[in-house]
Amino acid sequence: MTWLETSTDNCTVQRTLDVIGEKWSMLVLRDAMNGVRRFDDFRRHVGLSEAVLSDRLRKLVAAGILRTDPYREPGSRTRYEYRLTSKGWDLWPVMIALKQWGDRYTADPEGPPLEVHHRDCDAPVEAVVVCAAGHGALTPREACTRLGASARTAN
């Protein structure tokens, strides 16, 4: 069976995009990874409507990527902060890879607006592909794709 003969019904890339593939979801995750926690801060910084933000936050919470923590300011009703779960933080390398590509191909002439550095040595952080045995950074030509255990024939 070849790739083109394989069903994409259970494709994990497709399933991932179903959860986080909307532009606004990714921008909410970007902000959450940079310390934004509160609804009004997300709305103001990301620049989207309350309805769209509510929908994206609800979906990310339902997917277990964000969790809600109650807080209450004096004289106000209980509200919720949104915090990344471990499942959410597992998307950090994806965000770094997107940022790295954007820094290379879409940044302003003076450079990117945000830099991520290693806390200990201050070197820039970058996403690289390595194999489980520790070989890397790999190029696409150094990798091969095989059908996995759940591969099915396309209908």
pLDDT, tens digit (0-9, with 9 covering 90-100), for 11-70: 999 999 999 999 999 999 999 999 999 999 999 999 999 999 999 999 999 999 999 999
Backbone angles phi, psi at 64, to 5 degrees: 80, 20
Would you say 53 and 24 are in contact if contact means Cβ atoms under 8 Å apart?
yes
Rounded to two decimals, the pTM is 0.89
**What are 152's two structure tokens?**
């099915």
CATH 1.10.10.10 corresponds to the domain 3-142? yes
Cα distances from 12 to residues 7, 8, 9, in angstroms, run 12, 9, 9
The span from the CA of 4 to the CA of 2, in Å, is 5
d(CA 20, CA 89) in angstroms, rounded, equals 13
One-letter identity of residue 97: A
